[in-house]
Amino acid sequence: MKELDHERFFEPFIDEVDGVACVPASYADADIARITSPLGWRFPLILDEETSLSAQVASCFSAPSSSRFGPYCDNIVGMNWELPDRRRVRVGERVVKSTTGYDILRFLLATDGRFGRATEYVLRLRPACDGGGIVFFDGPQGSLESAATELMHSCYIHWLESMDWLTTGPQDARLRIGIHCPQDEWPIFLMHLDSIAKGRGLLTTVTEGNGQVFDGLPDLVLKTTPDRVISLARDMAQYPGVRSIALCAPAMVHVYLPSGTEAAAVVKKMVWPLADGLHSLGGGWKSRHVECPLFGTDEASWVKSLAKEWGVAA
């Protein structure tokens, strides 16, 4: 059987039948939308309108709309990758479903540039709808948490673009729910959310739109389980000036430090007391200001072996 003597690469494309597109990793939201919107598709996993997709992927595992669509690694199905020595390879496929060899794609997406960088991504797109909006719940934190729990355990959670717990201090919290849907379904969502709010004495504020929220790149990301994510966000907001957002379904806390903070020092101060507890749950943390350390000699030797085989410096 004739073996390939060259690398295959993805060329930029959009497939309006399959709902996949190959775009430069440097593209930001508007660049992607310019290609996808005219064909009725969208890529919803955007944290920050201005920042490149590669920077967003490097700083976070998930965006608010991961509540509905999963983390970045479930929505980037292929990429062109440049190793540190400038050799380029294709990783993954242009079709959504594949189990062909080892899953280097998902591994690399979580490596924060230690083994090179993506130059193009193949994105899984989603149908764009003409309706939706943002619904805020306000009221006592116990009632808000109860509302979040009910939504998390109902099948409505599959259809909510996002459900995020926003907090800027121990006494301050809101539940923000994003919805992206056909215009004629918007009243159904509103009625359901209204019944949940009314049953708990919560106030609702509604803004119509497309349900997308842009919170910006967090300084610190914490990964835990869905039943612990709100309390973790609350704990983080006890640090002065810190804003924290719990992405309820992906069970991520995005932490935003006040401007002028010495980010690396503060991140370490926040993370060290938490790390063991998060790790015991199989969770963890990542920050664009501080690199996670290797875990003992085993991981160091695995990384060294991988780096040697991949021809990159460990």
Indicate whether 280 belongs to the interface with another protein (CB under 8 A): yes
Q: What angle do CA 203, 205, 210 make, to 5 degrees?
A: 145
Indicate whether 37 belongs to the interface with another protein (CB under 8 A): no
Q: Which of 95, 205, 214, 258 binds another protein (CB under 8 A)?
A: 95
Instruction: Look at residue 78 and give its three-state secondary structure.
Output: strand
d(CA 1, CA 71): 38
Residue 84 or 169: which CB sits closer to another protein?
84
Side chain identity at residue 235, one-letter code: D
Q: Which of 34, 198, 269, 279 binds another protein (CB under 8 A)?
A: 279
Q: What is the DSSP letter of 119?
A: E
Indicate whether 28 belongs to the interface with another protein (CB under 8 A): no
Residue 129 or 242: which CB sits closer to another protein?
129
Q: Which residues pair with 212 in a beta bridge?
A: none
Stretch that binds another protein, among 14-22, 170-178, 203-211, 254-262 (CB under 8 A): 14-22
Q: Which residues does 177 contact at the CB level (< 8 Å), separation at least 6?
A: 134, 135, 136, 137, 151, 160, 162, 163, 164, 193
Indicate whether 163 belongs to the interface with another protein (CB under 8 A): no
Q: Which of 28, 110, 190, 263 binds another protein (CB under 8 A)?
A: 110
Indicate whether 268 belongs to the interface with another protein (CB under 8 A): no
CA dihedral 174, 62, 287, 236 (to 10 degrees): 20
Q: Which of 101, 201, 240, 260 binds another protein (CB under 8 A)?
A: 101
Q: Which of 154, 214, 258, 265 binds another protein (CB under 8 A)?
A: 154
CA dihedral 299, 304, 307, 312 (to 10 degrees): 130
The CB-of-32 to another protein minimum distance in angstroms stands at 17
Under rule CB under 8 A, which residues in 180-209 are in contact with another protein?
Answer: 181-182, 184-185, 188, 191-192
Under rule CB under 8 A, which residues in 212-241 are in contact with another protein?
Answer: 223-228
Residue 68 or 243: which CB sits closer to another protein?
68
Q: Which residues of 162-179 are buried (b: 16+ CB within 10 A; e: fewer)?
A: bbbbbbeeeeebbbbbbb
Are residues 21 and 94 in contact, defined by beta-carbon separation less than 8 angstroms?
Answer: no
Q: Which of 65, 283, 287, 288 binds another protein (CB under 8 A)?
A: 283
Q: Which of 157, 206, 264, 314 binds another protein (CB under 8 A)?
A: 157
Under rule CB under 8 A, which residues in 42-71 are in contact with another protein?
Answer: 61, 70
Measured between alpha carbons, how far is residue 59 from residues 159, 181, 222 in Å? 26, 28, 11
Side chain identity at residue 92, one-letter code: G
The CB-of-75 to another protein minimum distance in angstroms stands at 10
